[in-house]
Chains A and B, each alone.
Chain A
């Protein structure tokens, strides 16, 4: 029970993710078949739909933008600041910081991660591991969006007796960039909103908020 309590955040969001992915599959299947009928085509089974490009492009276009959001946010918050925001470091801490501030080198402790203590390329790699993994997932899911998006696009092309495109040509289409940019705009809006709203608004008890009584000018403080 205690373990459940200590991992409730990841468990909670894991459950939400799975539930909403299943929900997306169900309503996406219904929507796809609605379109099939409108085009005088036959409907497909749920199993066929969730293994098809029309489903996976809708999943991947959302994943890539979430991981791009985190990649850019993680990178930006190394150097960029916002006075008063919980999302910013304190104003005198821009940049990669000192080994002492990062608890590296002679400042490691016995319970520091193994690769933080190892030194050399291992520590260098580990020091950038969060960014690298987020960026890698972004690149792979954006590539998956391109691959599945091209197939879904070509399916619509063939349904209208038009030519399909190869992958390189598809990446230059308005279809690919419409899917990409509609997701990016919302991600950047969300981050920007959080950066600014956290200056002036509070949520008692949340790790994402300053303490209710903390001043607007307090930066990099969470409660």
Chain B
């Protein structure tokens, strides 16, 4: 089944079983580096089909939460639950296979490979490499390659990357790299997509474009999205709920307008009341 079709199926299934049940839960997670508690007892849940935003000043622990979810960091406390199963002890390379894909704040693409190869690496968790068969390049390997390519081409169509297919990442402009990274994450057929500052470094039009894409990914592909973002206009335009963090602790959790008017959030951004 194709990426797009597979996910459409999931949307229908989700609607039938009643959307809105939690897809991902973070229960009281904490991590400290030396004496600093980067994330300190944060609890939230992300419902199926939702766009969930995490905001907060620099150093609030937003990206640390992403790194905890992708299991790059080992939490010092708390649990991570995905689709009802505990993933706190799943090794980091198994996370993609479970259905969680991500992008990085400072784009982490494979610089010296083409866009096509980058996206094909995105298919890694959906392929079944067998080294001996690969050395002989057997029919099975060829067929799997063709299937992977077909899946990748769908994502290329979806994000309009056809013009860049054969180009190396090192020659691409920043905005395109952002889209390629998003495409690479989609190639892994995720159920949950983690976007770390999808609009950072983009101009106004590009940001609007990203907003459309996030909505399309959410509505058309049925992928649940957690995004870290500083651009509040983007956050309030696309997200259903917002988690505000400061110094690793939860400040507020609720709809974008609730969070924006929360006194604790205003204080964290603008400083305390100077009376």
Pairing of A with B: no
Task: List A residues at the B interface (Cβ < 8 Å).
Answer: none
Task: List B residues at the A interface (Cβ < 8 Å).
Answer: none
